[in-house]
Copies of this chain bind each other. A is one copy, B any other.
Amino acid sequence: METNVCNIVADVKIKIPELVGLKENHKTTIVKVNEVEIGGSEVIIIAGPCAVESEEQLFSTARSIKEDGAKLLRGGAFKPRSSPYSFQGLGEEGLKLLREIRKETNLPIVTEAMDTRQVELVSKYADMIQIGSRNMQNYPLLKEVGMSGKPVLLKRGMMATIEEFLFSAEYILSQGNDQVILCERGIRTFETSTRNTLDLSAVPMLKNLTHLPVIIDPSHGSGLRWMVPALAKAAVAVGADGIIMEVHNNPEVALCDGHQSLNLEEFKELMVDLRKIATAVGKQIL
C-alpha cells in the first residue's frame, strides 16, 4: 500500500498515509467506547486521576466527575515514570478498581498499556486502551493494540511531527482497527515556564488531514493546574472533539502529577464554562 502526498491543504506539504487520510466526504469517524460516541457534535470530556492509587481516591473522583458531565474515566494502572524508583502504578490491582467503579458509574474506562505483553490483560478490563507519548513510536505495541479490537487513544509524542503522528496511527489502522482517537498533549520546545507547549493548532491541522477524532490534554500540555481551565476552553473553541484532564479528589497528596490535577470543585466550575464555549461554537457538552 502506498502513501500519498497531501494536496488537500494549501501550503502543507506532508505525506499522509492511506488509511488515516481524509475520507471523500470529509466526515469524522465516530469512535464508539461502549455507549459514548467521540467525533460527533458533542464535546466529550474524559477525566480522572493520573494514577489509580486507592479505592477511596478513585471512587470519590469518579462519582464526582460523572455528576459534572464527564463521559469517560481515565486512570493509570501501569505508569511510565522517568525514574525507576518512582511509583510505577498498582498494576492489575488498579485495573480491578477501575472495573469496579465502572460497574457502579457506567463510565467507560481508558487506561494505558506500556508493553506488548500487557495488552491482553489491559484489554480484559479497559474499554479504551491508551498509548502514551513515550510509546508513540513503539511499533510492536501499536500493532498489538491494533489487533486487540479495542478503541485506542493515541497520544502524540512530545517531539513528534504531525506527519509522524499520523504514521503511528496508521500502524494501528493497518491491523484493521479504525477506532483511534488522536490526542495532542503538548510538545517540547525551548520554553521552560510550562512543562510543554500545548500545540492547539494541531487540532485544525489534523482535522484537515485525517478522519480520526482529535482531543486535547491540557493537563500535560501545561503541567500547571491553574492554567488547565484556560487551555481547556481554548481547546473547545479551536474545534477539539474532546478533552482529557487529570482530576483528583485531593491533588496535594497525589502520587503523581498532583501539581497539574484539578480538584473536584475546580472541575465542576470548569464544566460550566466549557458548556458555554461549546454552545458558542455550535456544539454541546451534555
- A→B interface (CB under 8 Å): 1-3, 9-12, 14, 17, 80-85, 114-118, 134-135, 137-141, 143, 157-159, 161-164, 167-168, 170-171, 174, 187-194, 197-201, 203-205, 208, 221-227, 230-231, 233-239, 259, 273, 276-277, 279-281
Q: Check if A162 sits within 8 Å of B193, measured CB to CB.
A: yes
Residues of B contacting A135 with CB < 8 Å? 138
A-B contact pairs, 11 of them (CB 8 A): A84-B171, A138-B138, A161-B193, A163-B193, A187-B190, A193-B205, A200-B200, A201-B230, A203-B230, A230-B239, A233-B281
Q: Which of B140, B171, B190, B276 contacts A161 (CB 8 A)?
A: B190
Q: Which of B11, B115, B234 contacts A200 (CB 8 A)?
A: B234
Q: Check if B234 sits within 8 Å of A139, measured CB to CB.
A: no
Residues of B contacting A114 with CB < 8 Å? 138-140
Q: Distance in Å from the Cβ of A157 to the closest Cβ of chain B?
A: 7
Residues of B contacting A235 with CB < 8 Å? 234
Knowing A2-B85, A138-B138, A233-B237 are in contact, say whether A191-B200 is a contact too (CB < 8 A).
no
Q: Which of B83, B84, B238 contacts A233 (CB 8 A)?
A: B238
Contacts A11-B259, A230-B239 aside, 4 further interface pairs with beta carbons under 8 A come to: A17-B84, A85-B174, A134-B137, A234-B235
Q: Which of B14, B82, B197 contacts A201 (CB 8 A)?
A: B197
- Among A157, A189, A221, A235, residue most surrounded by chain B Cβ atoms (within 10 Å): A189
Residues of B contacting A143 with CB < 8 Å? 84
Q: Once the chains are docked, how many angstroms separate the CA of A222 from the CA of B201?
A: 7
Q: Once the chains are docked, how many angstroms separate the CA of A114 from the CA of B140?
A: 7
Residues of B contacting A17 with CB < 8 Å? 83-85
**A208 nearest CB neighbor, chain B only:** B226
Q: Check if B9 sits within 8 Å of A226, measured CB to CB.
A: yes
Q: Check if A227 sits within 8 Å of B199, measured CB to CB.
A: no
Shortest 7 CB-CB distances between A and B: which pairs?
A159-B159, A237-B237, A134-B137, A115-B140, A234-B238, A276-B280, A280-B280
**A193 nearest CB neighbor, chain B only:** B162
**A85 nearest CB neighbor, chain B only:** B1
Residues of B contacting A226 with CB < 8 Å? 9-10, 204, 208
Residues of B contacting A2 with CB < 8 Å? 85
Q: Once the chains are docked, how many angstroms separate the CA of A118 from the CA of B233?
A: 41
Q: Once the chains are docked, how many angstroms separate the CA of A187 from the CA of B135?
A: 18
Q: Once the chains are docked, how many angstroms separate the CA of A80 from the CA of B168?
A: 11
Knowing A201-B231, A227-B205, A231-B201 are in contact, say whether A259-B10 is a contact too (CB < 8 A).
yes
Q: Distance in Å from the Cβ of A131 to the closest Cβ of chain B?
A: 12
Residues of B contacting A237 with CB < 8 Å? 230, 233-234, 236-238, 277
